[in-house]
Structure 1
Amino acid sequence: MRIHFIAIGGSAMHNLAIALHKKGYQISGSDDVIFEPAKSRLDKYGLLPAEMGWNESRISTDLDAVILGMHARIDNPELLKAQELGVKIYSYPEYIYEQSKNKLRVVIGGSHGKTTITSMILHVLNYYNRDFDYLVGAQLAGFETMVKVTEEAPVMIIEGDEYLSSPIDRRPKFHLYKANVAVISGIAWDHINVFPTYADYTAQFDKFINTIEEDGTLIYCKEDADLNEIVENSKARIQKIGYAIPEHEIINGITYLLPEKTALKVFGDHNLMNMNAAKLVCAQLNIKEAEFNEAISSFTGAAKRLEVISADESTNVYKDFAHSPSKLKATIDAVKSQFTNRKLVACIELHTFSSLNKDFLKEYAGSMDKADDAIVFIDLKSFEQKRMEPFNENDVQDAFSNPNLKFFNDAAKLKSYLLSQNYKDTNLLMMSSGNYAGFDLPELSAELPR
């Protein structure tokens, strides 16, 4: 098979390219810019384009398929040439389905927790040396790539994103996988640029339920009222299993599952809820509860999900991918609940299209109230890149309903402020789907006064 990737540098795209290369396919690709770690990974396997940019000469009828990434535009010259020649064009979720249509497909959907639930399932399956394929949205310890596709594996675990599939396919990715076992972790409005109202957004999850194969299984968070209503009203011929937060206790900063008192390396109500979802999926894959608990006790989390940068007897520094209001609140609540005797300095970088939209900004009201020192940072370049009107400090304080919230749009001033605080008996939580204008978080952590 000869496959060409348009926009090969994307997170999922470059991992799929590597996975198909390992499967023996002939892979080529193009992009106008490729960042690390994709650049080094592609180079390692001889898949890095010799030169950046688009060139229609790369497209010919000798290709079996083109896989089109979201980074490409609808007037991309390679895409236009493929359409002209009649070469088969897939979005990457379409191609994932093609690779898994003869397997049992487990699809993890929801506005938050997708990556963590998927990672937990992969960790448990790996612990017991199960044979499985996967697609996950973060780099995991023990897994070289974020995508694996083989002929032999009987099951594929897929993180199902609700964002669009490609520039020419406006369907949400998770609608294309046709799950046998599905998870919905909860619903909290996101992607306002694509789903301008909450009703538009929630409708995608109703449609997702209808894509589940007949007699399949839906595992859902029953503590989410809106999701409960959607599930109860669904006429899909599937089994429905609800889950909530499992019984647990916290002793000296460590969370234990009850009644067995299994010590965990992760914490927070959202992680515990994610764990219950993963346990129910694993039960569908014939892994008993006691086996699940044994394996999950060594799970340390997915990259950038409450990832520990440094820790000592009085100060922990975390980075987290949280960017939406619900994720922001859940992450702050988790750290405060786990360390009740420590102050919390929490900083969020507003970076996504939704978070930089003035109409959406009010959705953040109250989301940082449990932080002792709440900070919002926006890199001014983010507004420029997205061609959006900048916020000022009053805009942010009003939207977050927090007059004590501090606002920075200069990375150097933010760093100076953080280094001016004393972190004895204090945790620092840095949240972003961006990179704080190039902050070196380990270096910052090492310099914090204690």
Structure 2
Amino acid sequence: MNVHFIAIGGSAMHNLAIALSRKGAKVTGSDDELFEPSRTRLENQGILPEAIGWFPEKITEDLDAVILGMHAREDNPELLKAKELNIPIYSYPEYLYEQSKNKYRIVIGGSHGKTTITSMLLHVVNALGLNVDYMVGAQLEGYDCMVKLSDEAPFMILEGDEYLSSPIDRRPKFHLYKPNTALISGIAWDHINVFPTWENYVDQFRKFCEVIEPNGILIYNIEDPVLKSLGEEFEERLDTKPYQTPVYRTTGTGTIMTFDGKEYELQIFGAHNLQNLVGAMYLAESMNISNHDFLRAVRTFKGAGKRLQKVVEYDSFTMFKDFAHSPSKLKATTSAVKEQYPNRKVVACMELHTFSSLRKEFLPLYDGAMNAADEALVYFSPAVVAHKKLEPLTIEQVQAAFGGKVKVVNDTQEVLDFIRAKNWDHSVLLMMSSGNFDGIDYDKLGTELVSGLSE
């Protein structure tokens, strides 16, 4: 197979390129910008483009496929040449389906929890020594590539993102995988720039259910009222399996979960994570992994990449960083940390960074999202708002949207001043963002705060 990637440097695209190269395909690619870690990973695999830019001469009749990334434009010269030569053009998810159409496909969808559930399932699969192919949307510890493709593995595990497939294919990615078993973790309006109304967004998940293979399995979080209704719509066509938060209690190091009369000590915490775990357990069940074997293997799972990662821990101070940015993720993460540390002061800092979060019409969805914290701060950058060509925001508008006693600032130094002014004994600091508050080094900050306590 000769395969060419247009926009090979994307976080998803470069992983697929590496996986195909490892499978034995001849892989080439182009991009007009290449950043780390994509550049080094492509170079180590021997498939780094020799020069930056688009080169139509790379598109020749001996190509079996062209894979088009979201970063490319519709008038990309390589894309136009591929069309002219009638070379098959695939989006990233289309090609993943092509590689897995003869396998048993397990797809994890939902507005939140996808990466965690996928990570839990992969952790158990690895612990039990099972051979599976996979695609995960985030970099996980212990993996040098987040896509694996083979001819031998009977299962394909796919994280099902609802974002668009390519510049010329406006279908959400998870509509293209046709799962045998599917999971939906929850529905909370996201990607407002693509799905302009709540009803339109929910309808994407309905369509996802419609593409599940006949007599397939739909696993869903029954605690989400919208999802409960959606699951009930498909009871006759699919084998539906609702799940909910299990019985559990917190411990100093994590959680003890009770299931089927037995107790299992876990290293994760929070109701949302426990819901995710039960959902992953039902996915494993569809792979003929018993609940008991799953729960024994998942005891060593410590969390997914960028999800509630401990930056530092010292006596009675702990600092976390988390990828949370949407209202539902923010609420779940803040509540989980407060539940785990009920006798400590929890200070939560959050950055509005994504396109959706910085839009005025989306802001009201954040009402009460940080109420579980003892103190809360929200940061946004006027420069980022301007760069995304959105209407300017004021501190007062953001304050009114979040409600409560949330402090709102729009300068990174003010975030640092807020944090440095506090006594962190018997406290938890939670930093939540899909960015880094425009330049905050979490590790350096954590070390600084610990040194202040130990003096």
Report the counterpart of residue 92 of structure 1 in structure 2.
92
Q: CA deviation at 1:49?
A: 1.7
Report the counterpart of residue 31 of structure 1 in structure 2.
31
Report the counterpart of residue 319 of structure 2 in structure 1.
317
Which secondary structure does the structure 1 equivalent of 2:219 belong to?
Answer: strand
Q: CA deviation at 1:100?
A: 0.2
Which secondary structure does the structure 2 equivalent of 1:126 belong to?
Answer: helix
Question: What pairs with 1:148-297 in structure 2 (closer than 5 Å)?
Answer: 148-234=148-234, 237-258=237-258, 259-297=261-299
Q: What is the rounded CA distance, in whole Å, between the counterparts of 2:283 and 2:26 in structure 1?
A: 34
Question: What pairs with 1:336-351 in structure 2 (closer than 5 Å)?
Answer: 336-351=338-353
Which secondary structure does the structure 2 equivalent of 1:249 belong to?
Answer: strand
Deviations 1:253-276 (A, max 9, x none): 531111433211111111000000
Q: What is the rounded CA distance, in whole Å, between the counterparts of 1:235 and 1:413 in structure 2?
A: 52
Q: What is the rounded CA distance, in whole Å, between the counterparts of 1:21 and 1:437 in structure 2?
A: 36
C-alpha contact 2:6 2:78 (8 A) present in aligned 1? yes
Q: CA deviation at 1:236?
A: 6.1
Deviations 1:242-291 (A, max 9, x none): 00001111133531111433211111111000000000111111111111
Note the residue ranges of structure 1 that are not aligned, 5 or more in a row: none
Q: What is the rounded CA distance, in whole Å, between the counterparts of 2:340 and 2:133 in structure 1?
A: 34
User: Structure 2 counterpart of 1:178, which letter?
Assistant: K
Distance 1:291 1:345, change over 3 A: same
Q: What is the rounded CA distance, in whole Å, between the counterparts of 2:265 and 2:64 in structure 1?
A: 50
Q: What is the rounded CA distance, in whole Å, between the counterparts of 2:44 and 2:403 in structure 1?
A: 48
Q: What is the rounded CA distance, in whole Å, between the counterparts of 1:149 and 1:90 in structure 2?
A: 16
Deviations 1:348-379 (A, max 9, x none): 11111110110011110110111122111123
C-alpha contact 1:253 1:338 (8 A) present in aligned 2? no
Q: CA deviation at 1:40?
A: 1.4
Which secondary structure does the structure 1 equivalent of 2:361 belong to?
Answer: helix
Note the residue ranges of structure 2 that are not aligned, 5 or more in a row: none
Question: What pairs with 1:295-334 in structure 2 (closer than 5 Å)?
Answer: 295-334=297-336
Q: What is the rounded CA distance, in whole Å, between the counterparts of 1:29 and 1:416 in structure 2?
A: 45
Report the counterpart of residue 412 of structure 1 in structure 2.
413
Which secondary structure does the structure 2 equivalent of 1:311 belong to?
Answer: strand
Q: What is the rounded CA distance, in whole Å, between the counterparts of 2:35 and 2:413 in structure 1?
A: 23
C-alpha contact 1:375 1:407 (8 A) present in aligned 2? yes
Report the counterpart of residue 447 of structure 1 in structure 2.
448
User: Structure 1 counterpart of 2:200, which letter?
Assistant: D
Number of residue-to-residue matches in the alignment: 449
Report the counterpart of residue 423 of structure 1 in structure 2.
424
| From 375, 381, 394, the counterpart of 2:396 | 394
Report the counterpart of residue 48 of structure 1 in structure 2.
48
C-alpha contact 1:221 1:243 (8 A) present in aligned 2? yes
C-alpha contact 2:181 2:217 (8 A) present in aligned 1? yes
Distance 1:415 1:47, change over 3 A: farther
C-alpha contact 1:262 1:297 (8 A) present in aligned 2? yes
Q: CA deviation at 1:380?
A: 3.1
Report the counterpart of residue 80 of structure 1 in structure 2.
80
Q: CA deviation at 1:6?
A: 1.0
Q: What is the rounded CA distance, in whole Å, between the counterparts of 1:254 and 1:125 in structure 2?
A: 22
C-alpha contact 1:214 1:236 (8 A) present in aligned 2? no
C-alpha contact 1:419 1:447 (8 A) present in aligned 2? no
Q: Identity rate of aligned residues, in percent?
A: 55
C-alpha contact 2:382 2:393 (8 A) present in aligned 1? no
Q: Which moved more, 1:31-40 or 1:350-359?
A: 31-40
C-alpha contact 2:253 2:267 (8 A) present in aligned 1? no
User: Structure 2 counterpart of 1:326, which letter?
Assistant: S
Which secondary structure does the structure 2 equivalent of 1:105 belong to?
Answer: strand
Report the counterpart of residue 384 of structure 1 in structure 2.
386
Q: What is the rounded CA distance, in whole Å, between the counterparts of 1:234 and 1:253 in structure 2?
A: 40
Q: What is the rounded CA distance, in whole Å, between the counterparts of 2:196 and 2:263 in structure 1?
A: 45
User: Structure 2 counterpart of 1:181, which letter?
Assistant: T
User: Structure 2 counterpart of 1:411, which letter?
Assistant: T
Distance 1:51 1:439, change over 3 A: farther
Deviations 1:408-432 (A, max 9, x none): 2222332232222221111111111
Q: Which moved more, 1:261-270 or 1:148-157?
A: 261-270
- Per the normalisation by structure 1, the TM-score is 0.97
Q: CA deviation at 1:212?
A: 0.3
C-alpha contact 2:330 2:369 (8 A) present in aligned 1? yes
Q: What is the rounded CA distance, in whole Å, between the counterparts of 1:182 and 1:50 in structure 2?
A: 40
Which secondary structure does the structure 2 equivalent of 1:438 belong to?
Answer: coil
